[in-house]
A and B are shown apart, each in its own frame.
Chain A
Amino acid sequence: MSSRNVSRLIVCARVLAVALFLVILLFPIFWTTTMAFKPAEEWAPTDGTTYWLPEDWTLSNFIRVLNIGDTGGFGGIIEAPLDATPSIIRSLIAGIGGTLLALVCGTLTAYGISRHRAGGRHHPFSILQMRMFPPIAVIVPILFLWTYLQLFDTVHGLALVYGAVTFPFVVWLMLSFFDEIPREIGEAARVDGCSRMGVFVKAILPLARNGLATTALFVFILNWSDFIIALSLTDANKTAPVFLNEITSASTGREFGPQAALGLILMLPPLVLAVFIQKHLVRGMTFGAIKR
C-alpha cells in the first residue's frame, strides 16, 4: 500500500471515529427531543413500530407534565394528575441557593489561600479531599442530622448540602484564577486607600469575573442535575430530577413522553445561563492558557 493510501485510510478512520462519537453523544438528546413531541401512541406503540420522528406532532406531553390543561386522556383512560412545576421551582431554589453559598464561601476561601496561604500548604488539597469520596457515602449521617435539625425534606436543607458538596470545586477553580492576578494589583488598591475587603471586592473580584462566571455555571449544572442527594434528603418536596424519575402510571408503566418533555425543560436553565454569560465563559475557559 502506498503512503498516500495509508494516509487516506487514517483520514477515513478519523472521520468514522468522530462520527461514532457524535452519534453516541447526540442520539440521546435527539431521542429525548423528538419523544417529547410524540403522542402516547408513538412513544408507547402497541404494534412494535419504531417512530424515529413524530408523525403526529403534539404538545400534550408538556401540557400533561406541567398540568396546564386537559390532554384528553390516553386511549380513553383518565390519567393520574401530574404537575412538575413545584418540583422545578424547588430545583431552581435549591440549585441557585447552593451555588450562591458555594460561590461566596469558596471564593473567599480561595482568595485567602491564594494571597495569604491561609490554612497552610496542604489546605487546598485537604479541601479537595472532601470530594475524594462520593457524597452518597455520607448521606446517611446527613439524613439523621438533617432530620434532627428539621432540615429533612426542605429546600433550604438541600441548598445547604449542595453548597457544601460543590464548595471544593469553587475553591479549586477560583484558586487558579486568583493565582493569575498579580499581587501588586491588590497592593496598589491598598495603597490607593482600600480596606482589605475593599481590595477583594473592588480590585480583585472584577478581574476574576470571567472565572467566577465559569465556576458559577459549572457548579449550577452540578446542583441542578443532582439526583441522588435529593432522592435521599426529600420525601414530599421532590426536586425535578427525582420527580422525573417517578413519572409512571398504572396503565402504561413508565410515561416516557412526559418524562422526555420534563427532561427537555430541565435542559433549558443551564442553556439559558450559558448563553447569558457566554462572553465571560469563552474568556474564562481560556484564562491562564495564554501568557498575558
Chain B
Amino acid sequence: MTDVRLDHVSKRFGSIQALDDVSLHVAHQEFFCVLGPPGAGKTTLLRSIIGLEHPDAGTVEIGGHDVTGSEPGKRSVGIVFQNLALYPDKTVAKNLGFPLRQQSPRPSAAERDARVREIARLLRIEPLLNRRPAHLSGGERQRVAIGRALVRLHDVYLFDEPLSALDALLRVEMRAELKHLQRNLEKTLIYVTHDHVEAMSLADRICVLAGGRVQQVTSPQEIYRRPANKLVAWTIGSPPINLIEMNVVENDGQLSLDHAEIRIGSLPDGTLDPLRALMGSGATLGVRPEAVMLGRDAGDSRLACRVIAVEPLGPETIVDLELHGQVIKALTPPGVAYRPDERLPVAFDLGTAHIFGGDGATVYSADGDQSLVLHVGAPPNE
C-alpha cells in the first residue's frame, strides 16, 4: 500500500502563503490530479511531497511512513519536472541510466542496461538512446523525462504540468498515452495541471487548489456537477461558467433571486434558510455556457439578448451575449449562423445551474433537478 497523506501542511515564501493548511489523502494506485490557476501552490505541493521543499508545518506520509524531514532521494518518489530538467550533456541512455547509478546497492552495468532498454521500449524511444536532449523533439524529450522518472521502481510518481510545453496536437496524443501508461504501471500518480480538460480526462479524483488552499477533492463528474464553491465552478469548464449577481428578495413570504431582467423563483426548501441569511448582500447564479440556449433552442423565452461576438470552433460555436451590461457566454451547436448585434431569444437550462453564497460557497446545485423557474422582465413590485 503506497498512499500519500498530507496532514495540515503549510508553506510560506516571504509574504506569499504557498500552501495554507493543506490536508489530502491520495489512495494507493490512484491517478490524482491537482488542478488550479498559476500561483495556486500546485508546484509547492509536489515539491513538498518529494522533499525538495520542507513544509513550515504539518506532515507528509508516504505508505504510512512520516517522510517530512527525509531527503528526496530516500522517498521512493519519482518526478517529471515542468521544464523536464534533462541532463543536457548526457545521452538519452545516460539520462535514463543516471538514477540507476545512484541507487545503493548499485545494479550491475548489465542490469542497468537491461532496465534502460525496457523503459525505452515502453516509451518508444529506443532509437534515440544515443542522442542528446538538444537533438530531440519536444515530444521525445517529454518521453525521456518520463522515462527517467520511471526507470527506478518507485511507489509514487509525480508529474508537474508535464504537457504544458507541448503543442496542442501533441498534448492530446501524450494525454492518451499517459492514461494508458498509468493503467499499465499500477502506481500511485499525482499529476499537477492548470488545464481542466487534462485533469478531467486523466484523473480518478481531482483536487482543486487555489490560493494555497484545497477547495474541493472529488471525482471529475462530481466536480463538474456539484462544485464546492464559485472558484471550483469557474476553474472547471471552458469557456468558464457564467456568474450572474442576484439580489435575494422576499415577497409575501416567497423568496426569490432578482436581477434587473430576470427573476429565479420556486427555490427548493433546503436553500431557503441559507439564502435568507444573504438578503441584502446578494447571491450568485452560475449558469454554464452549455446551459445557455439561443434562438430556436430557447423556445418561447421572453428574454432577449444582443449578440456581441461569435466564435465558431467547428464542433460548436461560442456566442457572447449582453445581459444587462454583462457578457454571457453561450456554447451552441454548429449550423446556425449568428450575427453580431442581432437580438436573440435566450433561455437558461436551470437543471444544471448553481447558486453561490456571498462567500462563494455553493448554496445549491440543481444537478438535474428542474424545480427552479426563470421569470423574465423587471420584478413587478419595482
On A, residues with C-beta under 8 Å from B are: 182, 184-185, 187-195, 198, 202-203, 206-207, 209
* Chain B residues whose CB sits within 8 angstroms of the CB of A209 once the complex forms: 89
Which residue of chain B is the closest to A198 with respect to CB atoms? B102
Contact B102 A184 (CB under 8 A): no
Least CB distance, A38 to chain B, in whole angstroms: 49
- The 3 residue pairs across chains A and B that have the minimum distance between CB atoms: A193-B102, A184-B85, A193-B73
Least CB distance, B91 to chain A, in whole angstroms: 12
Which residue of chain A is the closest to B75 with respect to CB atoms? A191
Please, what's the 1-or-0 string for B43-79, where 1 marks a CB less than 8 Å from any CB in chain A?
A: 0000000101000000000000000000111000111
Residue in B71, B83, B103, B152 whose beta carbon sits within 8 Å of that of A190 in the complex:
B71
Residue in B78, B86, B104 whose beta carbon sits within 8 Å of that of A191 in the complex:
B78
* Chain A residues whose CB sits within 8 angstroms of the CB of B5 once the complex forms: none
Contacts A206-B89, A207-B88, A207-B89 given; indicate if A191 touches B50 (C-beta within 8 A). yes
Cβ-based interface call for B81 (8 A): yes
* Chain B residues whose CB sits within 8 angstroms of the CB of A187 once the complex forms: 52, 72, 81, 85
* Chain A residues whose CB sits within 8 angstroms of the CB of B104 once the complex forms: 193
Residue in B52, B83, B88, B102 whose beta carbon sits within 8 Å of that of A192 in the complex:
B102
Contact B103 A185 (CB under 8 A): no
Residue in B73, B82, B148 whose beta carbon sits within 8 Å of that of A194 in the complex:
B73
* Chain B residues whose CB sits within 8 angstroms of the CB of A185 once the complex forms: 85, 87-88
A195 to B89, CA, bound (A): 20
Cβ-based interface call for B360 (8 A): no
Residue in A182, A191, A194 whose beta carbon sits within 8 Å of that of B83 in the complex:
A182
A192 to B152, CA, bound (A): 9
Which residue of chain B is the closest to A194 with respect to CB atoms? B102
* Chain A residues whose CB sits within 8 angstroms of the CB of B73 once the complex forms: 190-195
Chain B interface: which size bin? 20 to 34
Cβ-based interface call for B99 (8 A): yes
Which residue of chain B is the closest to A192 with respect to CB atoms? B99
Contacts A184-B81, A193-B73 given; indicate if A203 touches B87 (C-beta within 8 A). yes
* Chain A residues whose CB sits within 8 angstroms of the CB of B234 once the complex forms: none
Cβ-based interface call for B98 (8 A): yes
Least CB distance, A117 to chain B, in whole angstroms: 14
Least CB distance, B106 to chain A, in whole angstroms: 10
* Chain A residues whose CB sits within 8 angstroms of the CB of B81 once the complex forms: 184, 187-188
Contact A190 B72 (CB under 8 A): yes
Which residue of chain B is the closest to A186 with respect to CB atoms? B85
Q: 28 A-B pairs, CB-CB below 8 angstroms? A: A182-B85, A184-B82, A184-B84, A184-B85, A185-B88, A187-B72, A188-B79, A188-B148, A189-B87, A189-B98, A189-B102, A190-B71, A190-B72, A191-B78, A192-B73, A192-B148, A193-B73, A194-B73, A194-B102, A195-B73, A202-B102, A203-B87, A206-B87, A206-B89, A206-B90, A207-B87, A207-B88, A209-B89
* Chain A residues whose CB sits within 8 angstroms of the CB of B78 once the complex forms: 191
* Chain B residues whose CB sits within 8 angstroms of the CB of A195 once the complex forms: 73
A167 to B26, CA, bound (A): 50
Contact B83 A193 (CB under 8 A): no
Least CB distance, A178 to chain B, in whole angstroms: 14
Least CB distance, A66 to chain B, in whole angstroms: 42
Contact A190 B52 (CB under 8 A): yes
A207 to B73, CA, bound (A): 21
A171 to B40, CA, bound (A): 37
* Chain A residues whose CB sits within 8 angstroms of the CB of B152 once the complex forms: 192-193
Inter-chain pairs besides A190-B71, A191-B78, 19 sampled, C-beta below 8 Å: A182-B83, A184-B81, A184-B84, A185-B85, A187-B72, A187-B81, A188-B81, A188-B86, A189-B87, A189-B102, A190-B72, A191-B73, A192-B99, A192-B148, A193-B73, A195-B73, A202-B102, A206-B89, A206-B90
A194 to B100, CA, bound (A): 11
* Chain A residues whose CB sits within 8 angstroms of the CB of B102 once the complex forms: 189, 192-194, 198, 202
Contact A191 B98 (CB under 8 A): no
Which residue of chain B is the closest to A208 with respect to CB atoms? B89
Candidate in A191, A193, A206, A207 with the most chain B CB atoms within 10 angstroms:
A191
Least CB distance, A218 to chain B, in whole angstroms: 22
Contact A191 B52 (CB under 8 A): yes
Least CB distance, A78 to chain B, in whole angstroms: 60
Contact B89 A193 (CB under 8 A): no
* Chain B residues whose CB sits within 8 angstroms of the CB of A192 once the complex forms: 73, 98-99, 102, 148, 152
Least CB distance, A188 to chain B, in whole angstroms: 4
Which residue of chain A is the closest to B83 with respect to CB atoms? A184
A167 to B220, CA, bound (A): 58
Least CB distance, B363 to chain A, in whole angstroms: 43
Least CB distance, A179 to chain B, in whole angstroms: 16
Which residue of chain B is the closest to A210 with respect to CB atoms? B89
Least CB distance, B273 to chain A, in whole angstroms: 51
Please, what's the 1-or-0 string for B337-362, where 1 marks a CB less than 8 Å from any CB in chain A?
A: 00000000000000000000000000
Which residue of chain A is the closest to B104 with respect to CB atoms? A193
* Chain A residues whose CB sits within 8 angstroms of the CB of B79 once the complex forms: 188, 191
